[in-house]
Amino acid sequence: MNDPSEIETEILVIGSGPGGAVSGTLFAEAGRHVVMVEEGDHLALEAAPHFSREEMLLKYRNAGVGVALGRHKLAWVEGRCVGGGSEVNRGLYHRTPGYVFDDWRHRFAVHDLDLAGMTPHFEACEAVARVEYAGAAASDMSRRLQQGAQAQGWLAIEAPRLYRYDHDHHSGVKQSMSATFVQRFVAAGGALLPRTRIARLRRMNGHWIAQGSRRGEDGKQRPVTFRAKTVFIACGAVQTPALLRRSGFSHNVGDSLRFHPMVKVVAEFDRDVNRPDDFDPVHQVKEFEPRFGMGCSISTPAMLGVALSGRPDHWQLVAERWRRMGIYYVQSGGGEASVRNLPGFEDPIVRVRFSQGDLSVLGEGLRRLCEALFAAGAQRIYPCLAGYPDLHSPGDLARLPDVLQASDGNMTSVHVFSSCPMGEDRRRTAANSFGKVHGADGLYINDASLLCGPTSVNPQGTVMAVAHRNATEALTRRFH
C-alpha cells in the first residue's frame, strides 16, 4: 500500500496483538475489507534474541518501562510490534477455567459465556496457533518446581505453550500472532499498516474517523486519517482505555485495570538445573488458584543478574552459580488500577492500589513458594525483595513477614487486563457482552480490556478465544 494520508475501509482494526490479529483475520477471511494498524514495527521473530536487551528496545512498549504508581508500585511490560504481547511472551497457554467464566457471567451479566460455549472458539484458535507440550524436553529448573510441589502434596502441572517443538533438533517455532494469524490476515487480503498510531476517534456522518500518524522509513511522523464504518479497538488493556478516553468515552473505561502481580525469588540448588539451550520453563503450581499461583521465570544470566542486582556480590554470584539457579514467582490477581491521560503527554498514567488483603495473599504465596523450592532441594533462596533475608532452610521461613513488604520494582506483572469490562450490567461495564461499546454504533473493543477480571491462568488463550467469539458474533449480526 502507498502512503496516502486518507484511507477509507469497511473495518478498521486498531492493534495487532492477540485480540486484533484474531479479529482482523476472521473479518478478512469473511471477505470484508479490513485495515489493521499497529503502532510498532513489523519485525521477524528472530529480529532480536528472545528476552534480550535488543528485544526490549525493539519490541516492547516504552523500552520495557511501565510503572503503575501508588504506595506499592508495580512494574509491567507490554509488547509494541506487530503481534503485540504474543511476540515477547513465552506463549504459555491455558483455556480459561470454567469458574472464571461463571463468575464473569454472574457478576457482570455477560450473555452466552461459559466453558462449553467457548470451547469451539478455543479450538478454532488452537487450529491456527498450535499449542504443544515440552514433555520430556522440559528443563530441570522447570521440573524442580513440580517436584517440590508434589513433595508437598500439591497439584502441579506442565503448561502447554503456543509453540511447535522440534524434539529431534531441540528447537522449535513460536506460535506468535505474526507467525500465525497475521500471516493468514494478509493472505486473506487484509491490509496491515505497522508504525501507525491512532490518536483519537470521532463520529461523522455515520462513519468513524480515526486520526493519527504514520512513521515513515525516514523516521518522520506524517498525519493519517482513516474513515471506517466499523472500528475494533484492540490496543491492549492500557492503550485501549487511553484511546477511548481521548475520544470522549469514559463510562467504566480505564477504571478497573487488573494485573497478575508477582514477586520472585532466586533458588540455588546443589547441582546444575539451568543450561543455555534449555527450552523456556513450563511448570506451574495450581494448588492454590485462584488465590495465587506459582511458576518458573526465564532464568538467563541477564535475568538472574537483574533479579539479584540489589546485592553487592551479584556479578560473582551469577558468574559462579547461574547454572544452579532458577527464578520462580508467585502471582495473584490482587490490586486494581486506573488508566488516565495526562494533558500534554502521549503516554497514559496508571495508578494502582493494593489492599492489605492483597498483600497478605502474596505474603502467604511467597512462603508457600519457598516451601516448595526447599522441598525440591534448594540450598539457598534469595527473595527478590529489598530488605528480605536470604533463606538457608525451611526454618528460615518464619523470618518472612506475613504481609508482603514490597518496595519499588519488587512487584511486577506481564499480564494486564479488565480496563473496559464487557457485560450487560451498565453500572460496571464499558461494552456489551460481545464488546460493542455502550452507546456507540459500530465501535467495538476486542482485547484483554474486555475481560471482567483476572483469569488466574496465563490470559492469552482467553483473549484470543473471547476475540474469536466476539468477532464471530459481529459477523453474524452484520455489525449491528
Nearer to other proteins, 40 or 453 (CB): 40
Q: Which of 480, 458, 117, 405 shows the shortest CA–CA distance to 286? A: 458
When asked if residue 48 is in the footprint of other proteins (CB under 8 A), the reply is yes
Q: How far apart are CA 20 and CA 194, in angstroms?
A: 13
Q: Please pick, from the candidates 342, 395, 398, 427, the single residue that binds other proteins as defined by CB under 8 A.
A: 342
CB closer to other proteins, 307 vs 372: 307
Strand boundaries in 205-309, DSSP class E: 207-215, 221-233, 258-259, 262-269, 283-285, 292-296
Q: Using CA atoms, how far apart are residues 429 and 426, in angstroms rounded to an integer? A: 5
Task: Give the alpha-carbon dihedral of 422, 426, 427, 429, to 10 degrees.
Answer: 20
Give which of 246, 187, 254 is closest to 24, Cα–Cα. Answer: 187
Cell numbers representing residue 476 in the block? 453474524
Q: How far apart are CA 444 and CA 471, in angstroms?
A: 10
Is 305 a binder of other proteins (CB under 8 A)?
yes
| One character per residue 396-415, x = contact with other proteins (rule: CB under 8 A) | -----------xxx------
- Pick the closer one to other proteins by CB: 36 or 420: 36
Is 127 or 386 the residue whose CB approaches other proteins more closely? 386
Could you say which residues in the range 113-142 bind other proteins, by CB under 8 A?
Answer: none
Burial of 356 (0-12, 13-18, 19+ CB in 10 A): exposed
Least separation in angstroms between CB 251 and other proteins: 25
Of 58-66, 140-148, 250-258, 442-450, which segment contacts other proteins by CB under 8 A? 58-66
Binding region for other proteins (CB under 8 A) out of 86-94, 114-122, 265-273, 309-317: 309-317
Stretch of 156-164, 223-231, 259-267, 301-309 lying at the interface with other proteins (CB under 8 A): 301-309
Instruction: Choose one: 280-288, 338-346, 370-378, 427-435; the region binding other proteins (CB under 8 A).
Output: 338-346
DSSP assigned state of 399: G
Residue number, 62 or 355, with CB nearest to other proteins: 62
DSSP 121-154: HHHHHHHHS-EE--GGGS-HHHHHHHHHHHHTT-
CA distance 323 to 345: 44
Which residue's CB is nearer to other proteins, number 149 or number 179?
179
Among 15, 17, 18, 64, binds other proteins (CB under 8 A): 64
Among 17, 20, 24, 66, binds other proteins (CB under 8 A): 66
- For other proteins, the binding residue among 5, 309, 355, 356 (CB under 8 A) is 309
Contact criterion met (CB below 8 Å) for 143 and 132: no
Nearer to other proteins, 8 or 473 (CB): 8
Q: Does residue number 320 form part of the binding site for other proteins (CB under 8 A)?
A: no
Output the CA–CA distances (angstroms, integers) from residue 87 to 76, 227, 238, 280, 378, in the order listed. 16, 29, 18, 14, 32
User: Of the two residues 239 and 455, which places its CB atom closer to other proteins in the complex?
Assistant: 239
312 is an interface residue for other proteins by CB under 8 A:
yes
- Binding segment for other proteins among 17-25, 56-64, 89-97, 101-109 (CB under 8 A)? 56-64
Instruction: Note whether 56 binds other proteins by CB under 8 A.
Output: yes
What is the β-pairing status of strands 221-233 and 6-14?
parallel
Give the integer Cα–Cα distance in Å for 215 and 201: 19
> In degrees rounded to 5, what are phi and psi of residue 409?
80, -5
Using CB under 8 A, count the residues that bind other proteins.
47
Please give the Cα distance from 57 to 141 (Å, whole number): 28
Residue 12 vs 134, nearer CB to other proteins: 12
Cα separation, 278 vs 362, in Å, equals 29
Confirm or reject binding of residue 345 to other proteins (CB under 8 A): yes
Cell 488466574, located at residue:
456
For other proteins, the binding residues in 215-234 under the rule CB under 8 A are none
What is the Cα–Cα distance from 328 to 262, expressed in whole angstroms?
10
Residue that has been written with the C-alpha cell 499480564 in this structure: 415
373 near other proteins, judged by CB under 8 A: no
Among 42, 229, 245, 351, binds other proteins (CB under 8 A): 42
Q: Which of 14, 22, 26, 82 binds other proteins (CB under 8 A)?
A: 82
> Applying CB under 8 A, which part among 59-67, 154-162, 261-269, 424-432 lies near other proteins?
59-67
Question: Using CB under 8 A as the criterion, which residues of the chain lie in contact with other proteins when the complex forms?
Answer: 1, 41-44, 46-49, 52-54, 56-58, 62-67, 82, 178, 192-194, 300-302, 304-306, 309-310, 312, 314-315, 318, 342, 345-347, 349, 386, 407-409
